[in-house]
Amino acid sequence: ALLDRRGVSWRHVNEKSEMLELLRMSTPESVARRGLRIRSKWKASFAGAEIDRLRQDITHEEVAYFRWQLVYHGQPSRLGLRHFQSNGIYVSPHFGETRWYINEQQHFVMQGVEPLAVRRIDSTWGWVIGADTGTEYYSVDPADA
**Tens-place pLDDT, residues 20-37:** 888 777 776 655 555 556
Helix, coil or strand: residue 118: strand
The residues, ordered by sequence, that sit 6+ positions from 7 with a Cβ below 8 Å of its Cβ are: none
Q: What percent of the chain has pLDDT over 70?
A: 90
DSSP characters over 51-108: HHTT--PPPHHHHHHSEEEEEETTEE-SS--B-B-TTSEEEETTTEEEEEEE-TTSEE
Q: How far apart are CA 41 and CA 58, in angstroms?
A: 25
How much is the pLDDT for 84? 97
Asked if the model's pLDDT at residue 115 lies above 80, the reply is yes
pLDDT, mean over the chain: 86
Asked if the model's pLDDT at residue 43 lies above 70, the reply is yes
Please tell me the pTM assigned to this model. 0.71
The residues, ordered by sequence, that sit 6+ positions from 32 with a Cβ below 8 Å of its Cβ are: none
- Euclidean distance between the first and the last CA atom of the chain, given in angstroms as a whole number: 22
- DSSP 8-state class, residue 104: T
Q: How far apart are CA 17 and CA 15, in angstroms?
A: 5
Helix, coil or strand: residue 109: strand
How much is the pLDDT for 24? 75
How much is the pLDDT for 100? 97
No. of H helices and E strands in the chain?
Answer: 5, 8
Q: How far apart are CA 40 and CA 18, in angstroms?
A: 16
